Amino acid sequence: MAKTIIIYMAREWTTWFLGCLFFLVGTIFLFSSVEDLSQVFPRGSDFWLEDFWFWLLSYLPWLLPICCLGASLFSLSFARKRGEWTAMLANGISPIQSFSLIVILGFGVGWSSDLLMNGAGVRSMDMSDLETRSLKMQIGSERLWYFRSFDPSTGMGRDLQLFQYGEKGEDVMRLRATTAKWESEKGWTFYNGKFLGFYSAKGLPVIDENKSSLVWETIEAASVKGVVYQTKSPGISRSFEKLYGLDIPDDPTPYLWLQKRAKNMSLGEIERLLDRFSGSKGQEMISYQLRKAQLWWNGPACLVALIIGLGLGSARGSSTPSKLAGVSLLGALGFYLIRTLSDSLGEQQILTPMVTASLPYLFVVIGAFIFLKIQNKS
């Protein structure tokens, strides 16, 4: 008997969970399509299924907790209305027993959500979905890269200007190239360009006789070859068709990620991005820090929402579905408003990213506590 009821309650919860999910996804899809269909299908009809999947992933962090809450509220509410809740208690089955499988399902939803959001980066790590556009890379105070255009799918950049500086900010090297290609195993290869080398404490950078790599010569060795020592003007100028072997390990991948919206990135991808720019405190990093905090809450929020829903659904006087529907809508609206406000404060760096991400859930917990107090008094 107990096993049958536990399975029945879990099935009812699952039905309501899927119903809430389909309703919310359909509503958001409708509004997004009316506003701009390219938000959902940026690559057109050829990739509609893949684009829809990754569009959906961007909303799951806050959709799944709402669905957990709604499923818990409505499954219990209708069980009370049909007298099933009373019959269960009369047969000596405690709420803890009947909720056991539902809690396991909640754990599963939270775990799956975390897994999906980390796995979302499998596709986004592939740079083929990024547009070909200009690219700038600032590598501390050492190097500055400018590409007129860079194709993420091939790792090929065009019209490159590269500047390298010394410890005191002095010019060490300048390089112009028609094209430059990045390969993770080989590094950078430059094609059809011009190289300018300047004297520094390290010496003078020069291209070797094969015009294939860069070597450093001391001031004395360069003087023997007739190179005049000067600090502000180039000590050497050479054209080249192909140049490689430079000790420049600057990977463009993190800088390409900066072209992507934070909501379209996985937790693992964002962590790698923030790790690469760990010393940066600029405004451009705020959205990624907020997204990381929001994704951290993804799994725990599902379980918290489920427990709150079970508590509200089993409270005295909470058996009216219409009443719970109103409470759910009010809670969802409050959650959205608090999240919008906290995100705004977080983007202005008034609140820390973790506080920003936590405030909407704190609002839900406080609201549920107040509602339970009112129900118990009625």
Specify the pLDDT at position 286. Answer: 83
Specify the pLDDT at position 321. Answer: 65
Place of tokens 């009821």: 5
Specify the pLDDT at position 191. Answer: 94
Q: SS3 for 162?
A: strand
Residue type, 353: P
Specify the pLDDT at position 320. Answer: 64
**Hey, which residues does 244 pair with through a beta bridge?**
189
Going residue by residue through the chain, which has 378 residues, state the pLDDT in tens, using 9 for 90 and above. Answer: 677 777 888 888 999 999 989 988 888 888 877 777 777 776 667 777 877 877 787 778 778 888 888 888 888 878 877 777 777 777 777 777 778 888 888 888 887 777 776 655 444 444 555 556 788 898 888 899 999 999 887 889 999 999 998 877 888 889 999 999 998 888 899 999 998 888 777 777 777 666 556 677 766 555 545 444 455 677 788 888 888 877 788 888 878 877 777 766 777 778 777 887 776 655 667 888 888 888 787 778 888 888 888 777 776 655 566 776 677 777 777 877 888 898 888 888 888 888 998 888 888 788 777 777 776 665
Pick the closest to residue 285 from 357, 342, 350, 346 (CA basis): 346
Angstrom distance (rounded) from CA 33 to CA 42: 12
The domain limits of the chain are: 2-125+285-377, 132-250
Specify the pLDDT at position 367. Answer: 79
Which residues have C-beta within 8 Å of that of residue 31, sequence separation ≥ 6?
none
Angstrom distance (rounded) from CA 351 to CA 359: 10
Specify the pLDDT at position 176. Answer: 94
Specify the pLDDT at position 122. Answer: 41
> How many CA atoms, within 13 angstroms, populate the side-chain half-sphere of residue 171?
16
Q: Where are the alpha helices (DSSP H) in 165-285?
A: 219-224, 253-257, 267-276
Angstrom distance (rounded) from CA 85 to CA 78: 9
Exposure of 100 by Cβ count < 10 A (0-12 exposed, 13-18 middle, 19+ buried)? middle
pLDDT tens-place string over residues 248-290: 888 888 788 777 777 667 777 787 778 877 766 556 678 888 8
Specify the pLDDT at position 192. Answer: 94
Which residues have C-beta within 8 Å of that of residue 292, sequence separation ≥ 6?
267, 270, 271, 274, 353
Q: Report the run of H or E that residue 13 belongs to, with start and end.
A: helix 2-35
